[in-house]
Amino acid sequence: MKPFEEIKIEKLKYTATEIPKKIDIHLQFGHFFNSYAKAINKRYNRTGSLFEKNFERKEVPTIAYFKKLIHYIHFNPVKHGFSEYIWDYPWSSYQSIISHKPTKLNREFVTELFKNEDYFKLYHTEDKDYSDIDEFIIEF
């Protein structure tokens, strides 16, 4: 198998079980945050939640809504002064999407939401009104 080649479930061979059990991503994040909270609480001799309120899953009802969320996430480091431009923030998925280096990110899916890479870049240069995604925004 080539490095970073997509894993095809139908090509896998199993020895112990017929099909591996399904892993729900929301449960995995829950386990991660619980473990993290326990470790921090143990280290600093404290108890209770680390986060102000619990995380929730929210349905993203439309593609337009989803595109605006992607823009918001990419624009956040600029808004909060961590970077001058979206493309300069090193921990953003923006660079992975426009790059041609191997990645586990499904960049084709993301760029197709915006038609193509050029429209993806153009969309990210325009100011956006986030009033319709207020329920997703957490500001301090």
pLDDT tens, residue by residue, 67-95: 999 999 999 899 889 999 998 998 889 99
Q: Provide the pLDDT for residue 97.
A: 93
pLDDT tens, residue by residue, 19-60: 656 677 778 888 888 899 999 999 999 988 887 766 677 788
Is residue 5 very low, low, confident or very high in pLDDT (cuts 50, 70, 90)? low
Q: Provide the pLDDT for residue 70.
A: 93
Residue where the block lists tokens 């929210």: 58
DSSP H helical ranges for the chain: 25-43, 63-79, 93-98, 107-113, 117-123
Q: Provide the pLDDT for residue 112.
A: 94
Q: Provide the pLDDT for residue 17.
A: 55
pLDDT tens, residue by residue, 95-138: 999 998 888 889 999 999 999 999 999 999 988 888 877 776 76
Spell out the residues 6+ positions from residue 98 whose beta carbon is closer than 8 angstroms to its own.
87, 107, 117, 120, 121
Residue 14 has pLDDT above 90, yes or no: no
